[in-house]
Chain A
Amino acid sequence: MAGPGSARAVTSPDEIRERVRSLLGEAALDGSTSDGGAMGPVAASPVSPQEAAALLRLASEEGWRVLPHGAGVAPDGYGAAGTPPDLLVSARRMAGIIQYEPADLTLEVGAGTVLADLDRELAAQGQWLPLLPPGGGAVTLGGLVSMGLPGSLAVAYGAPRDQLLGLTLADARGRVLPLGGRVVKNVAGFDLVRLVCGSRGALGLICGVSFRLHPRPAADRTLIWSGDEAGSLHALGRVLAGLPLPLAALEIHGHRGGELPQLGPDGWGVALRATGSEPAVTRMVDVAVDAVGRPTRTLEADASVRFALAAAADEGRARPQHRRKLPPSDLGVLLDRLTRDGQEAGGKEWGGVVADLRSGMVRRLRADATGLPPLTPVTPAVGRLHAGLRKVFDPMGVLPGQWRYGWR
Chain B
Amino acid sequence: MSPAPVPLPDDVLRALQATVGNRAVLSDPDRMLVYESDGLTQYRFPPSAVVLPGTAEEVYRVVRILHQAGLPYVARGAGTGLSGGALALNGAVVVATTRLNRILDLDVENRRARVQPGVINAQLTRATAPHGLYYAPDPSSQSACTLGGNVAENSGGPHCLKYGVTSRYVTALTVVLPDGELVRLPTSDPETGTLDLMGLFVGSEGCFGIVVEMEVELLPKPEGVRTLLALFDSLEAAGAAVSTIIGRGLLPAALEIMDRATIEAVEDSVFAAGIPRDTEAALVVEFDGVEAGLDAEMEEARGVCLGSEAREVRTASTAADRDALWKGRKKAFGAMGRIAPDLLVQDATVPRSRLPEVLARIGEIGRRHRLRVANVFHAGDGNLHPNLLFDRNDPDELARVEKASREIMSVCIDAGGTITGEHGVGLDKRPYLPMVLPPPVLEAMGQVKAVFDPTGQCNPGKVLPDEYLPGGGLTRASA
Contacts and interface: CB of A to CB of B under 8 A. Distances in A.
Contacts of B451: 385, 388-389, 392
Among B167, B185, B291, the one with the most A-chain Cβ atoms within 10 Å of its Cβ is: B167
A246 B192 contact: no
Given A104-B352, A177-B441, A199 B195 contact: yes
Contacts of B246: 103-105
Contacts of A182: 351, 416
A295 interface: no
B186 interface: yes
Interface in B141-178: 153-154, 156, 160, 164-165, 167-168, 177
Interface in A145-196: 147-149, 158, 161-162, 171, 175-179, 181-192, 194-195
A375 B191 CA distance: 8
Contact of B289 (A214, A243, A280): A280
A188 B426 CA distance: 10
A175 to B, nearest CB: 4
A379 B183 CA distance: 8
Contacts of A280: 289-290, 292-293
Among A200, A375, A377, A385, the one with the most B-chain Cβ atoms within 10 Å of its Cβ is: A385
Contacts of A246: 222, 289-290
Nearest to B200: A195
B223 interface: yes
> What does DSSP make chain B's interface, helix, strand, loop or mixed?
loop
B455 to A, nearest CB: 14
Interface in B432-470: 433, 436-438, 440-445, 447-452, 463-464
Given A126-B249, A246-B289, A392-B451, A323 B190 contact: yes
Contact of A162 (B168, B247, B353): B168
B199 interface: yes
A351 interface: no
Nearest to A193: B199
Interface string B421-435: 111110001000100
B444 A177 contact: yes
B109 A328 contact: yes
Contacts of B187: 198
Given A177-B444, A197-B199, A187 B191 contact: no
Contact of B444 (A192, A199, A377, A382): A192
A378 interface: yes
A127 B246 CA distance: 11
Contacts of A8: none
Interface string B40-58: 0000000000000000000
Give the top 9 A-B pairs by smallest Cβ distance, nearest first.
A198-B188, A194-B199, A215-B249, A244-B220, A388-B451, A283-B292, A279-B293, A185-B421, A279-B292
Interface of B: 107, 109-112, 132, 153-154, 156, 160, 164-165, 167-168, 177, 181, 183, 185-197, 199-200, 202-204, 207-208, 220-223, 243, 246-247, 249-251, 289-293, 296-297, 349-353, 378, 381-383, 416-425, 429, 433, 436-438, 440-445, 447-452, 463-464
17 contacts: A181-B417, A185-B165, A187-B203, A187-B421, A187-B422, A188-B433, A189-B442, A202-B195, A243-B220, A244-B220, A244-B222, A280-B289, A280-B290, A327-B107, A327-B110, A358-B111, A381-B181
